[in-house]
Amino acid sequence: MEIPIRPTEKEEVILKLIETIMTPGEVRIEGEGLGKMALAISPCLSSLNKFFILLRRERILDSARKYLLKGKQGDTLTFMLHKQALAGGRVSFVSNESESPLGPIVVTISHPALDAVIDWLAPITREGRPIKEISIPEPDCQSD
């Protein structure tokens, strides 16, 4: 996950945003000024359990599924979230960087079974409710 840190933003606030949607294995701050970024990394899908819960709490599984499917390329999935919305505890997907004035949160997931990852995070629904919930796809954790 990559989150731009603007000069007017505090690193502590950005670190809390990360904790809102994932339990990172590692967090690094890189760059300076307008190029400063927080990078959150985890080898485990289970680190996204908070995101899994938020998608259900917000009742946006259908919308989330569309964005996730759109962001799938090979064994990599990339999507963007609105930074200010997440600061308010809400999940809002964005299609381009300009939709999040302070810069979007860019989430990248690599996994050999991405379709299963998408089905786990945002399953197909009927009347807004998951038709079938699945377990975290194997392998949960991957080595480099």
DSSP for 3-59? EE--TTS-HHHHHHHHHHH---SEEEEE--GGG-EEEEE-SBGGGGHHHHHHHHHTT
CA 87-101-58 angle, 5° bins? 40
- Domains, the chain, ordered by start: 2-130 (3.30.1440.10)
| pLDDT tens-digit map of 32-86 | 988 899 999 999 999 999 999 999 999 999 999 999 999 999 999 999 999 999 9
| pLDDT tens-digit map of 3-28 | 999 999 999 999 999 999 999 999 99
Asked whether the beta carbons of 17 and 87 are under 8 A apart, the reply is: yes
At residue 117, the 3 state secondary structure works out as helix
Could you tell me the pTM of the whole model? 0.93
Cα–Cα dist 72/58, whole Å: 22
